[in-house]
Homo-oligomer: A and B are copies of this chain.
Amino acid sequence: MSQVELDTSVGYLLKMASSSLHGAMEAVLRPLGMTITHYSCLELLSQRPGLSNSELARGTFVTRQSMNVLLQALERDGLVARPERAPSGRVLPTTLTPKGRRQLATASGAVRAVEDAMLTGMSAADQEQLRRLLRSCVAALKAPADTL
């Protein structure tokens, strides 16, 4: 599998890096009985309590239907809680339960270790560069009409 042109494609490299990270995270989360979206949901709720189903979906890059299925499971398992009735509109603010917080704590360290491993051999300046360039990619894709 000698690379011909793929190594020069930013898109392919982006997919490769994302896939590598995805695999590594899966590997550490599986023994804990968690999926990546499962973990991402708890992490997001930890940093922003009261997020709604749709907001969690956008924050974890899945549809609100998928997040709904996940939230029902998390609620059933007592990891998150949602009020019976919406305080306003149809939005149901979700919060972590103590059990959810505990599960997140065990996973958080493992995930952080993976990210640290990924950044091995990268200077602080390099990391900031990488963040900047990735943000640029996202911004450029968000407004495709502006480029014409």
Chain A residues engaging chain B, CB cutoff 8 angstroms? 1, 4-11, 13-25, 44, 47-48, 55, 58-59, 61, 111, 114-115, 117-122, 126-127, 129-131, 133-138, 140-142, 144, 147
Contact A131 B10, CB 8 Å, known A48-B4, A141-B117: yes
Check if B5 sits within 8 Å of A47, measured CB to CB: yes
- The A interface, classified by DSSP as helix, strand, loop or mixed, is helix
Check if A130 sits within 8 Å of B61, measured CB to CB: no
User: Whole-angstrom distance between the alpha carbons of A44 and B7 in the complex?
Assistant: 12
User: Whole-angstrom distance between the alpha carbons of A23 and B120 in the complex?
Assistant: 29
A14: chain B residues at CB < 8 Å are 14, 17-18, 21, 134
